[in-house]
């Protein structure tokens, strides 16, 4: 049987938070035909550390730096974080030395043939990646977000769109995080499929375990608690919506817990309300303790191009916890009609929260959410991903 190594360029680094690509890669290692795996984190620029030393206080950044020397994280999986040192930047005297050192790490994985797994729009100033891209026979593009919506200006957006187009056209298999992106990809590549996010079902179900310790700060709040778990991003969260609801319902405690993408991701007015509580992120292992405190989970996404290109993992984690969910009509909720309450505007959003707080069929509704989560576990996603790889990448060449 043909066995090929897998070289992964991830948008999100390998970390204790277990994001999409990391989870799928770990489960794919069990598939026939997949050899050793090298997971390449986004590179670190030394001068960024010098300019912003506060980054070193971030646990996520420290995790990223812990892989500067390639480290095996499980049998057959190695993680590596490239670093760009002074004089090794593009056009500098020691740039060739940096590329040589990176290839020393990557080299052993390409000798017997490899699959290039793309999950990041790598720019043209990374010649090591593009060398691999040109010489790889098999490529998988995981379009896990509409990356071009992260661009700071129109020029960057155009560059990112061109790179995504190139990846799609030159891949054996494209998997997109939602049907919107999958439909766009199919215009360029027939072998394009929707592969949504999922949940670590057994872990998130611990929200109902008596042994799970509730989040310390949340557990001190009065009930009910309306909770949001995940990245706080001003381009995603509809702060005006939450402000209106929280102001009209002072007895509801709104909790936002997770990393803050900007300095004030919830704006200046919302945090001033007494029933708004913003807590720092917790380790992945403690997320069930957070969910344990929530009476209703919310996804108050803005409806824009940015949210049209994603598929919030929190949706599936919420479902696994069994808690009620109220959301704006963000992408990917169509299949959860009757399971997730979808609202247009603050009045309807508040109405759904109020109804769920007094739901007379709580157990029946809860069981429906848990069944939906089980059907959308990461194991289920990886099983389908493996089938797609066998069909579109290996084809009839496996022996």
Q: Which residue has the tokens 């608690």?
A: 225
- Tens of pLDDT, residue by residue over 246-271, are 999 999 999 999 988 888 899 999 99
Q: What is the pTM for the complete model shown?
A: 0.91
- Helices and strands, counts by H and E, the chain: 15, 16
Architecture of the domain defined by 201-375:
3-Layer(aba) Sandwich (3.40)
350: confidence class by pLDDT, cuts 50, 70, 90: very high
pLDDT score recorded for residue 294: 98
For the residues 313-325, what does the mean pLDDT come to? 97
pLDDT score recorded for residue 398: 43
Task: For the chain, list the strands marked E by DSSP.
Answer: 4-10, 34-40, 44-45, 71-74, 77-80, 83-84, 114-119, 138-143, 173-176, 192-194, 225-229, 253-257, 276-279, 296-299, 325-327, 341-342
CA pair distance 324, 187, nearest whole angstrom: 37
pLDDT score recorded for residue 52: 73
Residue 1 has pLDDT above 60, yes or no: no
For the residues 308-329, what does the mean pLDDT come to? 92
**Residue 46: enclosing H or E segment and its boundaries?**
helix 46-51
Query: Please, what is the Cα angle at 377 between 40 and 6, to 5 degrees?
Result: 25
The number of angstroms, rounded, from the C-alpha of 32 to the middle of its chain's C-alpha atoms is 26
CATH superfamily placement of domain 4-198+378-394: Glycogen Phosphorylase B; (3.40.50.2000)
Q: Are 26 and 77 in contact (CB under 8 A)?
A: yes
Q: Where in the chain is the domain with CATH 3.40.50.2000?
A: 4-198+378-394, 201-375
């Amino acid at each position: 049987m043909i066995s090929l190594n897998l070289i992964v360029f991830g948008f999100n680094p390998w970390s204790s938070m277990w994001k999409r690509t990391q989870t799928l890669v770990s489960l794919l290692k069990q598939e026939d035909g997949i050899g050793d795996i090298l997971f390449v984190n986004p590179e670190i620029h030394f001068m960024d550390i010098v300019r912003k030393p506060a980054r070193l206080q971030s646990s996520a950044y420290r995790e990223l730096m812990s892989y500067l020397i390639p480290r095996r994280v499980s049998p057959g999986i190695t993680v590596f974080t490239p670093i760009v040192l002074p004089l090794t930047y593009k056009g500098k005297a020691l740039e060739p030395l940096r590329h040589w050192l990176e290839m020393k790490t990557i080299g052993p994985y390409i000798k017997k043939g490899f699959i290039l797994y793309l999950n990041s729009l790598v720019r043209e100033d990374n010649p090591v990646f593009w060398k691999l891209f040109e010489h790889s026979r098999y490529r998988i593009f995981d379009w896990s977000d509409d990356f071009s919506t992260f661009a700071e200006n129109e020029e960057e957006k155009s560059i990112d769109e061109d790179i995504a187009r190139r990846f799609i056209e030159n891949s054996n298999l494209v998997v997109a995080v939602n049907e919107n992106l999958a439909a766009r990809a199919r215009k360029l590549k027939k072998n394009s499929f929707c592969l949504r996010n999922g949940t670590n079902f057994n872990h998130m179900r611990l929200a109902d375990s008596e042994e799970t310790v509730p989040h310390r700060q949340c557990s001190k709040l009065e009930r009910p608690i309306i909770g949001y778990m995940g990245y706080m991003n001003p381009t995603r969260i509809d702060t005006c919506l939450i402000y209106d609801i929280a102001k009209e319902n002072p007895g509801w405690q709104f909790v936002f817990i997770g990393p803050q993408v900007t300095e004030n991701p919830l704006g200046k007015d919302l945090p001033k309300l007494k029933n708004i509580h913003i807590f720092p992120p917790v380790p992945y292992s403690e997320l069930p303790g957070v969910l344990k405190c929530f009476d209703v989970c919310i996804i108050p996404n803005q409806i824009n191009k940015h949210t049209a290109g994603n598929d919030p993992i929190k949706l599936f984690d919420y479902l696994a916890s069994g808690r009620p969910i109220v959301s704006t009509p963000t992408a990917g909720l169509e299949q959860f009609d009757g399971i997730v309450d979808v609202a247009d505007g603050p009045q309807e959003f508040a109405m759904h929260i109020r109804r769920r707080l007094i739901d007379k069929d709580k157990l029946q509704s809860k069981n429906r959410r848990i069944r939906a989560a089980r059907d959308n576990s990461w194991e289920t996603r990886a099983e389908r991903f493996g089938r797609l790889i066998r069909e579109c990448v290996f084809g009839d060449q496996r022996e």
